[in-house]
Amino acid sequence: MASQLKVDTLTGVTTAGSIDVTGEGNSTTTNLQQGLAKTWIRFNQTGTPAIAGSFNIASIVDGGTGDTTLTITNDYANVNYSISASNDDTAVTNQVVAGDVAVGSYRQRSLNGSNALVDAPICYTSTFGDLA
């Protein structure tokens, strides 16, 4: 029978911040909190930089050509979180890189084939780790 649970917050019983979800094979479990993306964002560096869509991102700061700092609404517990970044890969932009990682922000840069900073029309980033 289909069921629906109405709740605002899920909290683990043994550990408040740890809830397991049963995997596809119906036996192995994976952790809900660890598996959730803690931030994601789509934004542009060309023109006036702006956020098209995001989660847990407070703002972006234009640091110049191909250089954007993203500030996080709810900070991470440490700086060892995982950052995956990409862009729309037009002819002018080969790769987006991220650096200068802090618990409340990180920096995303776009480079062209000559290793020079260049504005990317669309940047994508998602991050995973432990929130404070």
Partner 1 sequence: MASILRVNTLTDASSNNSTAMSIIHGGITRTWASFDGTASGATIGDSFNVSSSDDDGTGDYGINFSSNFNNATYCSTFGDGEGNATSGMRFLMDAGSTTSSQEIYGRNVSNSAADCGAASISIHGDLA
Determine, following the binding rule CB under 8 A, whether residue 80 of this chain makes contact with partner 1. yes
Determine, following the binding rule CB under 8 A, whether residue 25 of this chain makes contact with partner 1. yes
Among 28, 47, 48, 91, binds partner 1 (CB under 8 A): 28
User: Within 10 A of 126 (CB to CB), how many other CB atoms are there?
Assistant: 16
* Residues contacting partner 1: total by CB under 8 A: 53
CB environment 46-85: b (16+ within 10 A), e (fewer): beebeeeebebbeebeebeebbbbbebeeebeeeebebeb
The piece of 30-38, 41-49, 50-58 that touches partner 1 (CB under 8 A) is 30-38
The piece of 2-10, 42-50, 53-61 that touches partner 1 (CB under 8 A) is 2-10
CA separation for the pair 7, 76 (Å, rounded)? 25
The piece of 20-28, 43-51, 54-62 that touches partner 1 (CB under 8 A) is 20-28
CB of 65 to partner 1, least distance (A): 10
Residue the block writes with tokens 């618990």: 103
Among 16, 23, 88, 102, binds partner 1 (CB under 8 A): 23
Determine, following the binding rule CB under 8 A, whether residue 8 of this chain makes contact with partner 1. yes
How remote is the C-alpha of 107 from its chain's centroid? Answer: 12
Footprint (CB under 8 A) of partner 1, residues 82-121: 82-86, 94-95, 97-101, 107-109, 111, 113, 115-117
> H or E segment at 32?
helix 32-35
Copy the structure tokens of residue 132: 């404070």
